[in-house]
Structure 1
Amino acid sequence: MTAMPDVLSSPEIRESTEKAWRLIVWNDPVNLMSYVSYVFRSYFGFSPEKAEKLMLQVHHDGFCTVRSGAREAIESDVHAMHGFGLQATMTQEA
Protein backbone atom coordinates (compact mmCIF):
# COMPACT_ATOMS: atom_id res chain seq x y z
CA MET A 1 0.00 0.00 0.00
CA THR A 2 1.38 3.47 -0.89
CA ALA A 3 1.26 6.32 1.55
CA MET A 4 -0.92 9.31 0.81
CA PRO A 5 1.07 12.41 -0.07
CA ASP A 6 1.16 15.06 2.62
CA VAL A 7 -0.91 17.78 0.99
CA LEU A 8 -0.02 20.44 3.56
CA SER A 9 3.70 20.04 2.95
CA SER A 10 3.54 20.75 -0.77
CA PRO A 11 5.45 23.92 -1.71
CA GLU A 12 2.37 25.52 -3.30
CA ILE A 13 0.29 25.15 -0.13
CA ARG A 14 3.12 26.34 2.15
CA GLU A 15 3.69 29.47 0.05
CA SER A 16 0.01 30.39 0.01
CA THR A 17 -0.35 29.98 3.79
CA GLU A 18 2.97 31.58 4.77
CA LYS A 19 2.70 35.11 6.10
CA ALA A 20 4.21 37.83 3.94
CA TRP A 21 7.53 39.47 4.76
CA ARG A 22 8.01 43.24 5.07
CA LEU A 23 10.96 45.31 3.88
CA ILE A 24 11.70 48.02 6.43
CA VAL A 25 13.96 50.94 5.58
CA TRP A 26 15.36 52.84 8.56
CA ASN A 27 16.29 56.47 8.96
CA ASP A 28 19.99 57.21 9.27
CA PRO A 29 22.11 60.34 9.76
CA VAL A 30 24.12 59.72 6.57
CA ASN A 31 21.86 59.66 3.52
CA LEU A 32 20.11 62.73 2.16
CA MET A 33 16.34 62.61 1.88
CA SER A 34 16.61 63.26 -1.87
CA TYR A 35 18.90 60.23 -2.21
CA VAL A 36 16.46 57.96 -0.36
CA SER A 37 13.67 59.16 -2.65
CA TYR A 38 15.93 58.52 -5.68
CA VAL A 39 16.61 54.94 -4.51
CA PHE A 40 12.90 54.27 -4.09
CA ARG A 41 12.21 55.62 -7.60
CA SER A 42 15.10 53.91 -9.35
CA TYR A 43 15.04 50.50 -7.64
CA PHE A 44 11.32 49.98 -7.05
CA GLY A 45 10.04 52.09 -9.94
CA PHE A 46 7.84 54.15 -7.62
CA SER A 47 6.35 57.40 -8.86
CA PRO A 48 8.00 60.58 -7.55
CA GLU A 49 4.97 61.15 -5.31
CA LYS A 50 5.04 57.67 -3.77
CA ALA A 51 8.83 57.76 -3.32
CA GLU A 52 8.57 61.15 -1.60
CA LYS A 53 5.76 59.95 0.69
CA LEU A 54 7.73 56.86 1.77
CA MET A 55 10.93 58.87 2.22
CA LEU A 56 9.12 61.36 4.46
CA GLN A 57 7.71 58.50 6.52
CA VAL A 58 11.25 57.15 6.99
CA HIS A 59 12.43 60.63 7.96
CA HIS A 60 9.62 61.48 10.39
CA ASP A 61 8.83 58.06 11.89
CA GLY A 62 12.35 56.63 11.81
CA PHE A 63 11.38 53.73 9.53
CA CYS A 64 8.92 52.70 6.87
CA THR A 65 7.60 49.48 5.38
CA VAL A 66 8.45 49.96 1.73
CA ARG A 67 6.90 46.76 0.40
CA SER A 68 5.90 43.26 1.38
CA GLY A 69 5.99 39.91 -0.33
CA ALA A 70 7.65 36.52 -0.46
CA ARG A 71 10.70 35.97 1.71
CA GLU A 72 13.13 35.53 -1.18
CA ALA A 73 12.01 38.75 -2.89
CA ILE A 74 12.25 40.77 0.32
CA GLU A 75 15.69 39.30 1.10
CA SER A 76 16.82 40.46 -2.33
CA ASP A 77 15.41 43.93 -1.65
CA VAL A 78 17.24 44.13 1.70
CA HIS A 79 20.54 43.31 -0.01
CA ALA A 80 19.81 45.87 -2.71
CA MET A 81 19.08 48.58 -0.12
CA HIS A 82 22.37 47.75 1.61
CA GLY A 83 24.07 48.10 -1.77
CA PHE A 84 22.63 51.61 -2.03
CA GLY A 85 23.94 52.36 1.47
CA LEU A 86 20.53 52.38 3.16
CA GLN A 87 19.77 50.61 6.41
CA ALA A 88 17.12 47.97 5.81
CA THR A 89 15.79 44.89 7.55
CA MET A 90 12.98 42.42 7.03
CA THR A 91 10.35 40.99 9.32
CA GLN A 92 7.47 38.61 8.91
CA GLU A 93 4.01 40.10 9.15
CA ALA A 94 2.08 39.22 12.29
Structure 2
Amino acid sequence: MSRPVPALADHGEGGTDVLSRPDLDLERDELTVADFSTPWLTIVWNDPVNLMAYVERVFRRYFGYPQGEAHRLMMLVHTEGRAVVASGPREEMERHVEAMHEYGLQATVAKDDA
Protein backbone atom coordinates (compact mmCIF):
# COMPACT_ATOMS: atom_id res chain seq x y z
CA MET A 1 0.00 0.00 0.00
CA SER A 2 1.50 3.33 -0.97
CA ARG A 3 1.65 6.18 1.45
CA PRO A 4 1.12 9.79 0.44
CA VAL A 5 4.35 11.71 -0.03
CA PRO A 6 4.62 14.48 2.58
CA ALA A 7 5.09 18.03 1.50
CA LEU A 8 8.68 19.21 1.42
CA ALA A 9 7.91 21.87 3.96
CA ASP A 10 5.09 22.04 6.47
CA HIS A 11 4.96 25.60 7.70
CA GLY A 12 1.79 25.13 9.74
CA GLU A 13 1.47 25.98 13.39
CA GLY A 14 4.35 23.73 14.38
CA GLY A 15 6.73 25.21 11.78
CA THR A 16 8.27 21.78 11.11
CA ASP A 17 9.77 20.56 7.89
CA VAL A 18 10.37 17.08 6.48
CA LEU A 19 13.86 16.78 7.93
CA SER A 20 12.67 17.31 11.50
CA ARG A 21 9.69 14.92 11.39
CA PRO A 22 10.34 11.77 13.45
CA ASP A 23 7.56 9.83 11.68
CA LEU A 24 9.56 9.74 8.43
CA ASP A 25 12.26 7.23 7.70
CA LEU A 26 14.29 8.98 5.01
CA GLU A 27 16.47 5.90 4.57
CA ARG A 28 13.45 3.77 3.65
CA ASP A 29 11.16 6.23 1.88
CA GLU A 30 11.82 6.46 -1.84
CA LEU A 31 11.31 9.56 -3.87
CA THR A 32 10.96 9.43 -7.63
CA VAL A 33 13.49 11.68 -9.27
CA ALA A 34 13.24 12.50 -12.95
CA ASP A 35 16.34 11.63 -14.92
CA PHE A 36 16.81 14.67 -17.14
CA SER A 37 20.17 13.43 -18.41
CA THR A 38 18.63 10.65 -20.53
CA PRO A 39 18.24 11.89 -24.09
CA TRP A 40 15.11 11.30 -26.12
CA LEU A 41 14.90 10.78 -29.87
CA THR A 42 12.71 12.10 -32.66
CA ILE A 43 12.19 9.32 -35.19
CA VAL A 44 10.70 9.92 -38.63
CA TRP A 45 9.10 6.87 -40.26
CA ASN A 46 8.69 5.94 -43.90
CA ASP A 47 5.26 6.30 -45.44
CA PRO A 48 3.80 5.64 -48.89
CA VAL A 49 2.50 9.20 -49.29
CA ASN A 50 5.32 11.75 -49.11
CA LEU A 51 7.87 12.15 -51.87
CA MET A 52 11.55 11.79 -51.00
CA ALA A 53 12.28 15.36 -52.19
CA TYR A 54 9.57 16.69 -49.87
CA VAL A 55 10.96 14.82 -46.84
CA GLU A 56 14.44 16.15 -47.61
CA ARG A 57 13.07 19.68 -47.92
CA VAL A 58 11.29 19.37 -44.55
CA PHE A 59 14.54 18.25 -42.87
CA ARG A 60 16.38 21.21 -44.39
CA ARG A 61 13.71 23.78 -43.59
CA TYR A 62 12.68 22.66 -40.10
CA PHE A 63 15.91 21.27 -38.65
CA GLY A 64 18.28 23.45 -40.69
CA TYR A 65 20.28 20.47 -41.96
CA PRO A 66 22.60 21.09 -44.90
CA GLN A 67 21.54 19.41 -48.13
CA GLY A 68 23.91 16.44 -47.74
CA GLU A 69 22.74 15.58 -44.21
CA ALA A 70 19.08 16.09 -45.10
CA HIS A 71 19.53 13.77 -48.08
CA ARG A 72 21.31 11.13 -45.94
CA LEU A 73 18.51 11.17 -43.34
CA MET A 74 15.83 11.03 -46.02
CA MET A 75 17.56 8.01 -47.57
CA LEU A 76 17.61 6.28 -44.16
CA VAL A 77 13.88 6.86 -43.88
CA HIS A 78 13.40 5.51 -47.40
CA THR A 79 15.68 2.46 -47.19
CA GLU A 80 15.63 1.52 -43.49
CA GLY A 81 12.05 2.60 -42.78
CA ARG A 82 13.04 5.20 -40.19
CA ALA A 83 15.70 7.70 -39.18
CA VAL A 84 16.60 9.45 -35.94
CA VAL A 85 16.54 13.11 -36.90
CA ALA A 86 17.12 14.73 -33.49
CA SER A 87 17.96 13.93 -29.87
CA GLY A 88 17.65 15.92 -26.68
CA PRO A 89 15.22 16.69 -23.86
CA ARG A 90 11.83 15.02 -24.09
CA GLU A 91 9.83 18.25 -24.35
CA GLU A 92 11.92 19.45 -27.28
CA MET A 93 11.57 16.09 -29.05
CA GLU A 94 7.80 16.22 -28.55
CA ARG A 95 7.75 19.65 -30.22
CA HIS A 96 9.73 18.21 -33.15
CA VAL A 97 7.25 15.35 -33.51
CA GLU A 98 4.33 17.77 -33.50
CA ALA A 99 6.06 19.81 -36.20
CA MET A 100 6.68 16.70 -38.31
CA HIS A 101 2.98 15.83 -38.01
CA GLU A 102 2.11 19.34 -39.19
CA TYR A 103 4.30 18.73 -42.25
CA GLY A 104 2.40 15.46 -42.81
CA LEU A 105 5.26 13.16 -41.81
CA GLN A 106 4.94 10.20 -39.45
CA ALA A 107 7.15 10.70 -36.39
CA THR A 108 7.44 9.45 -32.82
CA VAL A 109 9.40 10.14 -29.64
CA ALA A 110 11.47 7.36 -28.06
CA LYS A 111 13.81 7.15 -25.09
CA ASP A 112 17.45 6.74 -26.10
CA ASP A 113 18.47 3.45 -24.49
CA ALA A 114 22.02 3.50 -25.83
1:78 to 90, 97, 102: 97
C-alpha distance in structure 2 between counterparts of 1:37 and 1:9, whole Å: 41
Matched, 1:26 2:23: no
Counterpart pick for 2:73 among 49, 54, 63: 54
- Count of residue pairs brought into register by the alignment: 88
Q: One-letter code of the match for 1:78? A: V
Structure with bigger gyration radius: 2
- Letter of the aligned partner of 1:86 in structure 2? L
The residue that corresponds to 2:60 in the other structure is 41
Structure 2: distance between partners of 1:87 and 1:9: 32
State the Cα deviation string for residues 65-84 of structure 1 (Å, max 9, x = none): 11100000000000000000
Where does the alignment leave 5 or more consecutive residues of structure 2 unmatched?
A: 1-15, 21-30
Q: CA deviation at 1:10?
A: 7.6
Superposed displacement of residue 19, structure 1: 1.2
Paired with 2:112 and 2:33, the residues of 1 have a C-alpha distance of: 22
Deviations 1:39-87, CA, capped at 9 Å, x for gaps: 0000000000000000000000000111100000000000000000000
| Identity level (%) | 47
TM-score by length of 1: 0.84
Q: Taking structure 2 as the reference length, what is the TM-score of the superposition? A: 0.70
| Aligned-CA RMSD value | 2.1
Which consecutive residues of structure 1, in runs of 5 or more, have no partner in the other structure?
Answer: none
